[in-house]
């Protein structure tokens, strides 16, 4: 799915809308309604036009998930913030070439890997870096939470 439309879909989903509610908004909603109910910043008209022209693809993406057809580093950082609530400098570092020190639960990491194009490489952090990141971000949480892994993400050459 193209980056622009996928990130706009994620904004809707992040607001807690179910698949059916999301599809209803895309089929019968207006750009004004999306701006009022989701976020006034994006230009929703493009997503509505895309949904109208590619309804089957949009419906599959909403109901079953999707993979970005192309994803820039800016798009990846936006996805991390919208879907996983991870922010630069708080939850990871961006070196200009790669994301480092990102801590995700195994299920989140699996989901992220399934969404991004194959040219993004996920590099496990060494133990020392993982410990340092855990200390900076307050550890892995309560004992009953899913274990987290620290990774770097870089575009493969």
Residue 157 binned pLDDT confidence (cut-offs 50, 70, 90): confident
Is pLDDT at 149 greater than 70 in this prediction? yes
Cα–Cα nearest to 43, from 54, 56, 34, 51: 34
Residue 151 and residue 142: Cα distance in Å, rounded? 20
Query: Quick check: 136 pLDDT over 50?
Result: yes
Residue 39 pLDDT > 80, yes or no?
yes
8 Å CB contact between 118 and 154: no
pLDDT reading at 125 higher than 70: yes
The more confidently predicted of residues 147 and 5 is 5
pLDDT digits (tens, 9 = 90+) for 86-124: 999 999 999 999 999 999 999 999 999 999 999 999 999
DSSP 50-99: HHHHTHHHHHHHHHH----SS--HHHHHHHHHHHH---BTTTBEE-SSEE
């Amino acid at each position: 799915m193209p980056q622009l439309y996928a990130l706009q879909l994620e904004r809707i989903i992040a607001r807690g809308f179910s698949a059916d509610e999301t599809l209803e908004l895309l089929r019968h909603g207006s750009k004004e309604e999306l701006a009022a109910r989701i976020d006034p910043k994006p230009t929703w008209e493009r997503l509505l036009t895309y949904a109208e022209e590619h309804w089957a693809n949009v419906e599959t993406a909403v109901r079953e998930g999707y993979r970005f057809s192309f994803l820039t580093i800016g798009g990846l950082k936006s996805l991390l913030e919208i879907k996983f609530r991870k922010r630069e400098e708080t939850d990871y570092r961006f070196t200009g070439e790669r994301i480092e020190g990102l801590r995700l639960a195994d299920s989140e990491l699996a989901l992220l890997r399934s969404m991004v194009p194959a040219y993004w490489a996920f590099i496990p952090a060494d133990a020392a870096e993982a410990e340092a990141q855990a200390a900076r971000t307050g550890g892995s949480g309560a004992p009953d939470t899913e274990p987290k892994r620290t990774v770097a993400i870089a575009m493969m050459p």
